[in-house]
Amino acid sequence: MKLVIIGGGFGGLRLARKLSNKRGFEVTLLDRFNYHQFQPLFYQVATAGLDASNISFPLRKVFHKVDNVRYRMAVVSGIDTVQNKVMTDIGDFEYEYLVIATGAGTNFFGNANMEANAFPMKSTVEALQLRHRLLHNFEDALITKDPLELQRLLNIVIVGGGPTGVELSGAIADMRRFVLPKDYPELDFSKMNIYLLEGSAKTLGVMSEKSSRQSSEYLKKLGVTVMTSTILKDYDGKTAVTQDGQHIETGMLIWAAGIKGNVPPGIDPSLVVRGNRIRIDRRCKVEGMNNVFAIGDVAYMEEPAFPHGHPQVAPVAIQMADLLVNNLRVIEMKSGTQQFQEFVYNDKGAMATVGRNLAVVDVPKPKLHFSGFFAWLVWMSLHLMLILGVKNRFSVFSNWLYNYFTRDQNLRLIFREFYKEKK
């Protein structure tokens, strides 16, 4: 079977690894980056807690001892489902079966000003750009003479009260408490404001009521201004305007409020549903197609327990990849459709860290909730296990130990060639 997988994220990489050295499969993995990115820790790169290399792993290294998987760094420009080929900037790739695992990107909901001026955080590069701008603002604050401009440089607005927004708010609040006053003794950080804006009535809305309530309490304890039921209307790079008319002066607005699937050109628009996701059946097959599958954030599947689609999280992508391995092997062995498996998501729970010694964890079966220091340890342990590479795990653990005992990150570097000026 000549199989092409688009995307080296959690789903695409899992599928390629599961098919490694399996007879009967010739796999080509395409991705625009030559590394796998551990997205749950982007916020720690953005706040100088971890180096980008700690959460990235070379894709080629994964397949050193594999003879049936080939990786190509390529940008996909389109898919031809009639001629069975994928068009890229380095040429065309023919396939017998195709798996779309392109993940999701930032959704600005059509707001051009937000797209031009806000900082997203959906890739390692974007996390680095955010870090550089964050640090550069404090450098600029040292030399400005304008009180209004000083306040803008000190104020930070984070839009979106999901796990990314909550974790980022807590990390920046910890920086304000433990690090920034030592780095910039000339600045008065009691005047630095961190705003978390959430359109719904609570933070961590996808988690339990206890987790939502506790996350908000933790953030307020850390000095974050939590503004629920608040929708951002516009941002011009200097002033954030909410739908109810509030104005917040800020030189940095971080957008963590929405994502949309990265659907490659060539997919029938009638198959693309809300959130820019491709409709698939319970076997992960794109509806109406016999040899095209989709998994992960870009895929939309309805099952009894999730009638409106699955959450766009890594465990869904990984479990879909595991199912697809079985179904592709059934196809390859021509075993008959009776052996195909249908997808049932096993929700093992959700967690989020808010700050030093503060986290919330929900486990659905058995129904458990815990928070505080123990939840924080569980969060750290799970993320360490999921990171690819022994060296990466050791580096992350070493950084976390250093940060915990010194209360200080050690990666506050400004590389100007990465610096992204929002205009």
The enclosing domain of 21 has a CATH number of: 3.50.50.60
Amino acid letter, residue 404: Y
User: Does any domain span residue 249?
Assistant: yes
User: What's the pTM?
Assistant: 0.91
Looking at the structure, tell me whether residues 159 and 240 fall in a common domain. yes
User: Does any domain span residue 43?
Assistant: no
Looking at the structure, tell me whether residues 221 and 309 fall in a common domain. no
Return the structure tokens found at 115: 């797209």
User: Does any domain span residue 41?
Assistant: no
Instruction: Give 292-341 pLDDT, tens digit per residue.
Output: 999 999 999 999 999 999 999 999 999 999 999 999 999 988 755 568 88
Looking at the structure, tell me whether residues 116 and 176 fall in a common domain. yes
Q: Average the pLDDT over 90-110 and give the result.
A: 95
Q: Which residues contact 150 (CB under 8 A, 6 or more apart)?
A: 141, 144
User: Does any domain span residue 55?
Assistant: no
In angstroms, rounded to a whole number, what is the distance separating the alpha carbons of residues 216 and 193?
Answer: 16
Boundary-marking domain end, from 339, 357, 379: 339
Looking at the structure, tell me whether residues 335 and 355 fall in a common domain. no
User: For all residues of the chain together, what is the average pLDDT?
Assistant: 93
Provide Rg for the chain, Cα atoms.
Answer: 22
Looking at the structure, tell me whether residues 24 and 123 fall in a common domain. no
Boundary-marking domain end, from 320, 339, 358: 339
- Give the domain range for residue 180: 112-257+349-416
In angstroms, rounded to a whole number, what is the distance separating the alpha carbons of residues 62 and 206?
Answer: 33
Backbone angles phi, psi at 50, to 5 degrees: -135, 155
Instruction: Sort strands 350-355 and 358-363 into parallel, antiparallel or unpaired.
Output: antiparallel
How far the first Cα of the chain sits from its last, in Å, is: 48
Looking at the structure, tell me whether residues 218 and 294 fall in a common domain. no
Boundary-marking domain end, from 339, 361, 394: 339
Residue among 111, 346, 371, 415 at smallest CA distance from 241: 111
Q: How many structural domains compose the chain? A: 2
Residue among 10, 226, 284, 256 at smallest CA distance from 126: 256
Q: Could you tell me the CATH number of the domain that includes residue 171? A: 3.50.50.100
Helix (H, G, I), strand (E, B) or coil at 237: coil
Cβ contact 161:196 at 8 Å: yes
Looking at the structure, tell me whether residues 117 and 210 fall in a common domain. yes
Instruction: Give 158-211 pLDDT, tens digit per residue.
Output: 999 999 999 999 999 999 999 999 999 999 999 999 999 999 999 999 899 999
Looking at the structure, tell me whether residues 141 and 203 fall in a common domain. yes
User: Does any domain span residue 57?
Assistant: no
State the residue for tokens 């707001």: 111
Residue among 379, 296, 399 at smallest CA distance from 53: 399
